Structure 1
Amino acid sequence: MTKLIFRGTGDSMGVPRVYCDCEVCSEARSADGGINRRLRSLVQIEETGSGTTLIDCGPDWGKQMEAASLRTVDQILLTHAHFDHIGGLVEWADACRWLGKSGQAFAPAEVIAEINERFPWLQRQIHFTANDEPMELGSWRISCWRVNHGKNGYSYAYRFDHLSKAYSWVYCSDAIGLTEDQQKPLYGLDLLVLGTSFYKENFAYETRSVYDVTEAMDLIKLWKPRQVYFTHMSHDIDLRRDYGLPSHLRFAEAGLEIGLEPI
C-alpha cells in the first residue's frame, strides 16, 4: 500500500505570519495550541517499491524531515520554481554532499531551467531529470501538466495512476483560472489534493494566484472526486472552525496520513 503524508499545508508565508497577531496566527504560535501552525506545503509519499518521495522542497524542508524522522529521501518531484516550493533544495544538496550521494529530482524542463539559472551549483549534488513525459515510479504512472497560477505565472499539477488497479489521484497545490483543457485530468479522481489559500478571497481576481475554498467547491461539483483535501492554506483558514464542508471534503493537517488503496 502507498501512504500519503502531509508534512506542510501552508501557503507561501506559512502560519503564523511573523507580522500578524490575528486569532489564527496567535493560536498557531501559542505554547498550548498550534493546530493552525502550518509549514510550507509539502507531501511525503511512502511505498515499498519506490521508497520515500516528496512533492516539493520548500524552505521548511529541514523541519519537515525532522518531524518525519527522515535522514534522506529517494526522490523529489517539483511543481514549480517559486521559493516556497524549492527553497529547501540548497539544504538538501548540502545533506547529499555530507552523505556522499546524488539527490534525484524530477521536474518539467522549464522548471529545471529556472532552478539551474538561480542555483547553478545544485547540479553538483542533485541530478535533475525532466519529466514532461509520463514516468513510472513504483506502482504508479506519473504525469504532470502546466496549470495557470494567476498573477504568479504557472505551476504544474501531478497525476498518479496506479499501474495495475483502478485508482487515480492528483496533487495540485498552486492553481487558479484553469482552462477546460487544464481541468480534464481532474475529473473522476479517487483523491484530489488542492491548494486553497483563503475560504473566500476578496482581493481582485487579477491579483490572485490560488483558488479559494468557495471557488474550489463549485469546481469539485463538476470534477466529482471521491475525496478532497485542501492544502496551501493561509492564516484565513481556522481549523478550529466548522465551515460546514461536505463529508468528502476536509482541510489537511500536518502529520495526516492517507492510505492510497486501489480497488
Structure 2
Amino acid sequence: MKVTLLGTGGSAGLPQIGGVDGRGDWGRVDPAEPRNRRSRPSIVIHANDGRNILVDTGPDLRYQLTNCGIGKIDAVIYTHAHADHVAGLDDVRILNRILGTPMPAYATADVWAELRRRFDYVFKPWNGGFFGRPALETHDIAPGLPFELFGQTILPIDQDHGFTRSLGLRIGDFAYCTDVVRLDETALAALKGVKSWVVDCFTPANDHPTHAGLETVQGWVDQLRPQRTILTHMGPAMDYKMLLATLPPGIEPGYDGMELAP
C-alpha cells in the first residue's frame, strides 16, 4: 500500500486569499519555500490491487489529482461534510467518466444527509449514458465498524472536531486523522500500535477550537509511539523549515504531493 498526501493545508489553503499585493496572505511562513504552498487536506490510498481510494473531495481536487499524476479514482471515503472536504464534489463527474460507472462512496449517515441537502442532484438515479453530473453509489459506514474495500480493511474512528464529529481512518499500520481537536480513550485504543500516522496539527502551540495544536499532538505521540508522525491541516503559522528544525525525532511536517509507503 502507498499513500499520497494531496493536500496538507487548512480550510483556507496557503497562501490564503488577500495579501498586500493581492497574491496571497502567507501568514508567518516563507513564501519562497514551495512546501509551504498547501491545498485543502486530502489523501489518496493506493490499494494493493492497484486501485485508488480518495479520502474527501475538497475544492482543490482537480488541481491535486493532476499535480500528483493520479488519473483514476475507484472509490471515495468522506471524513465529514465541511466545505474544505466536500466542495470539489462536482469534479467527481470526470472521475465517473473515467471509471464508467457511479463512484462507490462511503460516509456516515449524518454526512450523507448533509450532502443530500447541499448536492441533491448528485443523488438522482443514474440511468446510463453521459455523466453530465456526479453520480455516487452510496455506502453507509460507522465509527468502530471496520469495512472492506479493495482488499484493505478500513477502521473508521470517531473524532471530536470541536463543534461536530469527523472520522479518522486506520488501515493496518497506517492511520489518517485530519480535522480533530480531541481523541477519547476509544479513539486512542483504535490507534494503538499504528506505525505511520498522518494527523491534524493546525498551530505550533495551543489548540484551535476545532483543530489540535502541536502540544496536543506531541502528547498523543507520547502515548501511541508511532514510528513516524506526519503533520497535516497546517495553518499559516506552520512554516515547513521551522518545523523541520524544531520538531522532535519521529515527527515531521507533510507537504502536498508527499508519498508514503507505510
- Same fold per superposition (TM over 0.5): yes
Q: Which residue of 1 aligns with 2:258?
A: 256
* 4+ residue segments displaced more than 3 Å: 20-28, 97-100
Which runs of 5 or more structure 2 residues have no equivalent in the other structure? 125-134
Q: In 2, distance between residues paired with 1:13 and 1:191?
A: 26
Alpha-carbon offset, residue 95 of structure 1: 4.8
Q: Which residue of 1 aligns with 2:103?
A: 103
Contact kept, 8 Å, 2:175 with 2:191, in 1: the verdict is yes
Is 1:182 the equivalent of 2:187? yes
Root mean square deviation, CA, Å: 2.1
Q: For each residue in 1:50-98, what CA deviation from the matched residue of structure 2 results, as whole angstroms up to 9, or x when unmatched?
A: 5011111100001011112333310111100000011111221355268
Contact kept, 8 Å, 1:15 with 1:25, in 2: the verdict is no
Q: Which residue of 2 aligns with 1:165?
A: none
Is 1:141 the equivalent of 2:153? yes
Q: In 1, distance between residues paired with 2:11 and 2:83?
A: 8
Is 1:52 the equivalent of 2:52? yes
Q: In 2, distance between residues paired with 1:34 and 1:24?
A: 15
Is 1:247 the equivalent of 2:246? no
Contact kept, 8 Å, 2:3 with 2:261, in 1: the verdict is yes
Contact kept, 8 Å, 1:50 with 1:137, in 2: the verdict is no
| Helix, strand or coil at the partner of 1:240 | helix
Q: Which residue of 2 aligns with 1:164?
A: none
TM-score normalised to structure 1 length: 0.85
| Helix, strand or coil at the partner of 1:35 | helix
Higher mean C-alpha displacement, 104-113 vs 17-26: 17-26
Of 164, 171, 195, the residue aligned with 1:160 is 171
Contact kept, 8 Å, 2:29 with 2:239, in 1: the verdict is no
Q: In 2, distance between residues paired with 1:239 and 1:249?
A: 12
Q: In 2, distance between residues paired with 1:143 and 1:221?
A: 22
The alpha-carbon distance between structure 1 residues 160 and 98, as it changes in their structure 2 partners (threshold 3 A), is: closer
The alpha-carbon distance between structure 1 residues 79 and 193, as it changes in their structure 2 partners (threshold 3 A), is: same
User: Within 5 A, what are the aligned runs for 1:59-70?
Assistant: 59-70=59-70
Q: In 1, distance between residues paired with 2:45 and 2:211?
A: 24
Alpha-carbon offset, residue 101 of structure 1: 2.4
Q: In 2, distance between residues paired with 1:130 and 1:26?
A: 40
